[in-house]
Each structure stands twice: as structure tokens, then as C-alpha cells.
């Protein structure tokens, strides 16, 4: 088996800001596995919040390449690398190679009929008046996700609600709130008909949720990576955000989804900022999810070839030339 590992920079439309900084491009790593003339691909996004960099993720991938070249299985890969970006790229490339080599589709393999999905569209963190303008421009979208993380958060949500009065709104607080902020904001956010709040507290402060009223469902993002995270999430959160870059690939994402559903947790499937190649495995995991946040391609100025098509706010099933 031949293996290629390379970095890709995807330009973003304008810029994209969250509480941890502003991006003008999405930096990803793509793994290609080639066997008998068939190529499988997987893409990952190193995330600094988890101590990941392009350099150390590449190093993790290269460390396990001898075993990959020898033909280890996806199950064996799970024990060789931890959950995270490096394993995600390899795991998804393995899926793609297996499916293409067998001339099978991921839908046939999983016995799932793919359905078009409505994805959230993310509004970048900004001053309230700018977020209101962005909301007006995207008011035709049924689901808007707001990036928050500062003292003007209530004003931001109020501004977006003015700009998009009919949209369903979900919030990503990016671990930026304390308990006092939560208690002050929740009654106002209920009035604004906010549908869900993602990760209000730092993951180290999950205990803040113990005994707190949750009139708006709370979703774990940084607090939930894989199945080992569920023990501390159950009872505190209503929902989890599954991302393949956190789970370390589609293999663990599907296992996490099943275990979480069995535990009574609701499912959101999200993404890092990346191309349609990253979205395809996530789209598989997102079938049947309550909230889908796979708008990465919509935020890029240029996408990978054979990328997702969007029709009337629906994300259509992907072309097998892209993945799977």
C-alpha cells in the first residue's frame, strides 16, 4: 500500500471569527491510501484547543504509517492512536479505500438510505450590528448557529433575532460563560426562542451544570470526544455534538452515536472548518441526528472537487467520487 500525507489550505469567504481568534483559511491534512490502483482519502483539522498542531498531527500520522502500510484494520487502528485529528484522517481514508475496493457504497455497507439534511449556517462572532446584517443576509436559512463568547452576547442574539425573525437559532458559547452569566442570560434567551446552547462552560467546569435548570437544551462539545466521555456528560447535558475530528474517525463516531442514543442523549453532528471531504463521513453519522452543523463547504471560497451540493437549504447526498 502506498500512503500520501499532505497539507491543504482552503480559503474562507472573507474571514471567520470565534472567541479563540480569526481565520482567513482552513488548514487541513489529507491522507491518501492507494492499493491496487484504488485510492481512499480522509481529511482532518488539527485543533489547538486540544493541543493539536499541523506538525504534531502529521507526526502522529507518520508514526503509525508502517502499520497502515502493512494492512492493519480499522479496529486495530483504534488502539494505536487516540481519538483526535490524526486518527480521523486515517480512519476515514480506510473507510473510503475499503468501500471503493469492494465497489460498495457506505450506504449499502451500513444499510442506511441517505436523506438530504438541513444544516445550520454559522454566523461568525462579531459586533451585534454586524451579526444582525449577516442574519438579514441569511434570513432565508431555516437554522442559524451563532458564535458567541463575550460581554455582548445577549445583544448579539437580540440582533440576530431581529435580522432573522423566523429562523431557528442555536448558540455556541465556546466555553466562555461562567455560572452567573448563564443564570442572567437564560431567561432572556428563552424569550428569544433560542433552541439550543452548545458548551456554555469550560469543559473543566461541567459540574456547574449540576442542579442547574436547563429550560433550553444544553449540548456538550468540548466536553464530549468519544465513548469514554459519556460518563461525565450523562445527567448534565441534554445533547452531544459528534465531530469526527474529536472521535478520531467515522468508526468511533458511529459507536459514540449509538451509545449516546441508548443513554437518552440527543444527537448533534458538527464539523471543524474544512472541505466536503471532511463533511462526507460526518454526513453519514448525521443521518437521523436532531441537529446537523456541516456548513464547512458553505464557508469556503473554494471547495474540493465533487463537493456537496446544496439545494433550497438542503445538503444533498454526496457523490461517491468525493468519498465512500
Residue-by-residue pLDDT tens, the chain, 324 positions: 999 999 999 999 988 888 777 889 999 999 999 999 999 999 999 999 999 999 999 999 999 999 999 999 999 999 999 999 999 999 999 999 999 999 999 999 999 999 999 999 999 999 999 999 999 999 999 999 999 998 999 999 999 999 999 999 999 999 999 999 999 999 999 999 999 999 999 999 999 999 999 999 999 999 999 999 999 999 999 999 999 999 999 999 999 999 999 999 999 999 999 999 999 999 999 999 999 999 999 999 999 999 999 998 899 999 999 999
Whether 145 sits among the annotated catalytic residues: the reply is: no
Residue 79: left (phi > 0), alpha (psi -120 to 50), or beta? alpha
Of these residues, 58, 147, 246, 257, which one is catalytic?
147
Instruction: Report how far residue 158's alpha carbon sits from residue 161's, in angstroms, rounded to the nearest whole number.
Output: 5
> Considering the domain 2-105, what is its CATH architecture?
2-Layer Sandwich (3.30)
| Per-residue cell: 217 | 437544551
| Per-residue cell: 183 | 443564570
Ordered by start, the domain boundaries in the chain are 2-105, 121-315
Instruction: Report how far residue 35's alpha carbon sits from residue 38's, in angstroms, rounded to the nearest whole number.
Output: 5
Instruction: Report how far residue 287's alpha carbon sits from residue 314's, in angstroms, rounded to the nearest whole number.
Output: 13
User: Is domain 121-315 given the CATH code 3.20.20.120 in the classification?
Assistant: yes
Instruction: Report how far residue 93's alpha carbon sits from residue 82's, in angstroms, rounded to the nearest whole number.
Output: 17
Q: pTM above 0.85? A: yes
CB 101 within 8 A of CB 35: yes
The reported pLDDT for the residue numbered 248 is: 98
Of these residues, 145, 243, 246, 257, which one is catalytic?
243
The reported pLDDT for the residue numbered 39 is: 98
76 half-sphere exposure, CB direction, 13 A CA radius: 10
- Other CB atoms within 10 Å distance of the CB of residue 215: 10
The reported pLDDT for the residue numbered 313 is: 86
Whether 8 sits among the annotated catalytic residues: the reply is: no
Nearest to 248 by CA among 119, 80, 120, 48: 80
Instruction: Report how far residue 25's alpha carbon sits from residue 5's, in angstroms, rounded to the nearest whole number.
Output: 19
Amino acid at each position: 500500500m502506498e500512503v500520501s500525507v499532505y497539507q491543504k489550505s482552503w480559503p474562507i469567504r472573507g474571514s471567520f471569527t470565534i472567541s479563540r481568534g480569526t481565520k482567513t483559511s482552513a488548514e487541513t491534512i489529507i491522507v491518501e491510501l492507494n492499493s491496487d490502483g484504488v485510492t481512499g482519502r480522509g481529511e482532518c483539522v488539527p485543533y489547538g484547543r486540544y493541543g493539536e498542531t499541523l506538525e504534531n498531527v502529521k507526526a502522529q500520522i507518520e508514526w503509525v504509517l508502517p502499520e497502515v502500510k502493512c494492512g492493519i484494520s480499522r479496529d486495530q487502528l483504534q488502539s494505536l492512536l487516540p481519538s483526535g485529528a490524526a486518527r480521523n484522517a486515517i480512519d476515514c481514508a480506510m473507510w473510503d479505500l475499503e468501500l471503493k475496493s469492494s465497489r460498495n457504497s457506505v450506504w449499502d455497507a451500513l444499510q442506511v438510505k441517505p436523506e438530504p439534511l438541513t444544516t445550520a449556517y454559522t454566523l461568525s462572532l462579531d459586533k451585534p450590528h454586524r451579526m444582525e446584517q449577516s442574519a438579514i443576509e441569511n434570513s432565508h436559512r431555516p437554522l442559524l448557529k451563532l458564535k458567541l463568547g463575550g460581554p455582548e452576547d445577549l445583544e448579539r442574539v437580540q440582533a440576530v433575532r431581529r435580522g432573522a425573525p423566523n429562523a431557528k437559532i442555536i448558540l455556541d458559547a465556546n466555553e466562555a460563560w461562567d455560572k452567573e452569566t448563564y443564570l442572567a442570560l437564560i431567561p432572556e434567551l428563552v424569550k428569544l426562542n433560542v433552541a439550543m446552547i452548545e458548551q456554555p462552560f469550560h469543559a473543566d467546569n461541567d459540574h456547574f451544570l449540576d442542579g442547574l435548570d436547563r429550560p433550553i437544551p444544553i449540548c456538550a462539545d468540548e466536553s464530549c470526544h468519544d465513548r469514554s466521555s459519556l460518563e461525565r456528560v450523562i445527567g448534565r447535558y441534554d445533547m452531544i455534538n459528534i465531530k469526527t475530528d474529536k472521535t478520531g474517525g467515522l468508526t468511533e463516531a458511529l459507536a459514540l452515536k449509538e451509545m449516546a442514543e441508548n443513554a437518552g442523549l440527543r444527537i448533534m453532528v458538527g464539523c471543524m472548518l474544512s472541505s466536503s471531504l471532511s463533511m462526507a463521513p460526518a454526513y453519514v453519522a448525521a443521518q437521523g441526528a436532531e441537529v446537523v452543523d456541516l456548513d464547512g463547504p458553505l464557508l469556503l471560497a473554494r471547495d474540493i472537487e465533487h463537493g456537496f451540493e446544496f439545494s433550497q437549504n438542503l445538503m444533498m447526498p454526496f457523490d461517491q467520487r468525493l468519498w465512500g
